[in-house]
């Protein structure tokens, strides 16, 4: 049996290390805090702040991103430019095709926030992982799935290069 928290932490660390390889001009951190709000992975020390939220199976995935947008609006985020990448697992996919209204709502909030602030850009990204339920086994292909997401991110990060 596997621990979902350990899996999420492992994926965060893998994402951070892989991003450091494809975008070495930026320092990357896990559990980066903005006004008390932890961000799964973030760039640090640059005029452009990259924030990555991983959504595994959250009931309200718009909430995490909305908090970040609120902190930007209140001035608690002072970077010249902010990009929020919202990674969604297959949990938000519908069996009949398309994505759940939970994901649609989160993306809508992200697009509206980006439209209201010139410093902000928002990008939803697919993370082709079926997150295990409590005690479930980690998907065997999780690293390849994260690598695919990193390839999608790399082109949107200043100085980023596509991983080999």
* pLDDT band, very low/low/confident/very high, at 65 (cuts 50, 70, 90): confident
Q: Kindly state the average pLDDT of the residues 16-27.
A: 91
Say what the pTM is.
Answer: 0.91
Q: What pLDDT, on a 0 to 100 scale, did the predictor assign at position 46? A: 66
- Per domain, the residue ranges of the chain are 4-154
Instruction: Assess whether pLDDT exceeds 50 at residue 4.
Output: yes
The pLDDT tens digits for 84-136 are: 999 999 999 999 999 999 999 999 999 999 999 999 999 999 999 998 887 67
What are residue 22's DSSP bridge partners?
none
Right CATH for 4-154 from 1.10.3470, 3.40.91, 2.30.30, 3.30.70: 3.40.91
Contact 122, 62 (CB under 8 A): no
The pLDDT tens digits for 28-60 are: 999 999 999 899 999 987 689 999 999 998 889
* pLDDT band, very low/low/confident/very high, at 1 (cuts 50, 70, 90): very low
DSSP character string of 102-144: HHHHHHHHHHHHHHH-TTEEEEEEE----PPPTTPPPPTTHHH
């Amino acid at each position: 049996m596997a621990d979902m928290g350990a899996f999420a932490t492992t994926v965060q660390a893998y994402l951070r290390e892989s991003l450091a390889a494809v975008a070495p001009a930026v320092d990357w951190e896990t559990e980066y805090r903005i006004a008390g709000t932890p961000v799964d992975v973030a760039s640090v020390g640059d005029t452009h702040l990259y924030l990555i939220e991983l959504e595994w199976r959250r009931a309200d995935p718009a909430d995490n991103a909305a908090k970040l947008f609120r902190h930007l609006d209140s001035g608690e985020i002072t970077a010249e430019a902010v990009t929020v990448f919202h990674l969604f697992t297959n949990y938000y996919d519908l069996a009949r095709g398309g994505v759940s209204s939970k994901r649609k709502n989160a993306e809508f909030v992200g697009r509206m926030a980006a439209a209201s602030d010139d410093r902000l850009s928002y990008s939803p990204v697919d993370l082709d992982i079926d997150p295990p339920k409590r005690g479930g086994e980690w998907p065997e292909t999780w690293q390849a799935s994260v690598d695919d997401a990193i390839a999608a991110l790399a082109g949107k990060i200043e100085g980023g290069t596509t991983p080999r």
